[in-house]
Amino acid sequence: PALPDGQLEIQVLGPVQLAGWPADRPPPGRAALELLTYMALHPGRRFTAEQLRTVIGRGRTRDLDLATIRRYNGELRRALGERLPEAKPGGGYQVVEVSTDSGRLASLVRAAEQPAPVGERASQLASALALVRGFPFADCPEGTFGWAFADGSLAMQMAHQVLTAALLLADLAI
């Protein structure tokens, strides 16, 4: 499913990539993309630089310092503008108006679980499954996105959501 104009989406249901990034701006580097991805996958939450350093630093061969996290956030802010408002003391960083394909998939699955005509539910599930390009966070370089595979594994939760969509669609077909 295509994105509306101006929509920015982090795609993690396969190799991590950005959709809708402004063509006139250079894409963020790998570490800044990881930071943006983490915040986009936790909508509505604010993070201190220390919290982000702890999470993003997981699995890396060298520690990230707070200045590095702030530099990445500055890089993102210059590119995203109001989508990453200036952090306020005690408030932390929060990305807004940046969606994820995993969020869209979850929303489509929830909608398909509601009472509706079979064809409508099947269409929602087919749209959800069309978002999948591979295993979540596929092809991430070693030492990056470690947080997606740790503690209850966000990647496995996403894979479970994909399987749920496939099973619900199969059940409708039967």
Cβ–Cβ contacts within 10 Å for residue 27, how many?
A: 13
Between residues 60 and 155, which one has the greater pLDDT? 155
**20 within 8 A of 10, measured Cβ to Cβ:** no
pLDDT number for residue 137: 95
Query: pLDDT (tens digit, 9 = 90+) per residue, 85-142?
Result: 777 676 788 888 899 999 999 999 999 999 999 999 999 999 999 999 999 999 888 8
Angle made by CA atoms 147, 37, 47, in degrees to the nearest 5: 75
Instruction: Tell me the C-alpha distance between 152 and 97, whole Å.
Output: 26
Q: Which two tokens stand for residue 3?
A: 């994105």
Per residue in 150-168, pLDDT (tens digit) is: 877 899 999 999 999 999 9
